[in-house]
Amino acid sequence: MVGERPLCSHCSSRAVFLDRESGAHLCSRHLKESVEERVLSRLMQEESLPDILGVAFSGGKDSTALLAALAALKDKIPSRLIALTVDEGISGYREDTIRHAKEVCNKLGVEHRIICFTGLFGRSLDEFMKNSNRKACTVCGILRRRSLEVLAEQEGVRLIATGHNQDDHAQTTLMNAFSADIKKVFAGSGSTSRFARRIKPFTAVSEREVTLYAILSDLFMDLPECPYAGEALRGEVRGLLNRFEQEHPGSMRNLARAEEGIRERLKGKIQYTPMETCKICGWPGSGEICQVCILLDKH
Which one among 68, 110, 174, 278 touches Zn ion, defined by CB under 5 A? 278
Stretch that binds ligand SF4, among 30-38, 115-123, 135-143, 189-197 (CB under 6 A): 135-143
Which of residues 56 and 72 has its CB atom nearest to ligand SF4 in the complex?
56
Contacts (CB under 6 A) with ligand SF4, residues 79-108: 88
Q: Angle 88-137-173 (CA atoms, 0-180°, nearest 5)? A: 125
Nearest alpha carbon to residue 72 among 115, 31, 22, 117? 31
Q: Does residue 136 touch ligand SF4 according to CB under 6 A?
A: yes
Question: Site for Zn ion (CB under 5 A): how many residues?
Answer: 5
Q: Does residue 224 touch ligand SF4 according to CB under 6 A?
A: no
Q: Does residue 258 touch ligand SF4 according to CB under 6 A?
A: no
Which one among 40, 129, 280, 296 touches Zn ion, defined by CB under 5 A? 280
Stretch that binds Zn ion, among 45-53, 70-78, 264-272, 274-282 (CB under 5 A): 274-282
Polymer length in residues for the chain: 299
Q: Does residue 295 touch Zn ion according to CB under 5 A?
A: no
Q: Which does 293 bind (CB under 5 to 8 A by kind): Zn ion, ligand SF4, none?
A: Zn ion
Amino acid at 137: C
Rounded to the nearest 10°, the torsion over CA 216, 84, 147, 153 is -150
Contact partners, residue 28, CB within 8 Å, separation at least 6: 13, 16, 216
Distances (CA, A) of 37 to 31, 127, 237: 10, 43, 29
Which of residues 115 and 204 has its CB atom nearest to Zn ion in the complex?
115
- From the CB of 283, what's the least distance to Zn ion, in Å? 5
- From the CB of 214, what's the least distance to ligand SF4, in Å? 18
Which of residues 99 and 134 has its CB atom nearest to Zn ion in the complex?
134
Which x/- pattern over 7-46 shows residues binding ligand SF4 (rule: CB under 6 A)? Answer: ----------------------------------------
Q: Does residue 228 touch ligand SF4 according to CB under 6 A?
A: yes
| Exposure on the CB side of residue 180, measured as CA atoms within 13 A | 0
Q: Does residue 137 touch ligand SF4 according to CB under 6 A?
A: yes
Which of residues 82 and 143 has its CB atom nearest to ligand SF4 in the complex?
143
Rounded CA-CA distance 228/115 in Å is 20
Q: Does residue 141 touch ligand SF4 according to CB under 6 A?
A: yes
Q: Which does 290 bind (CB under 5 to 8 A by kind): ligand SF4, Zn ion, none?
A: Zn ion
Contacts 24+ apart (CB under 8 A), 127-134: 127/89, 128/295, 129/228
The footprint of ligand SF4 (CB under 6 A) covers 88, 136-137, 140-141, 226, 228-229
The footprint of Zn ion (CB under 5 A) covers 278, 280-281, 290, 293
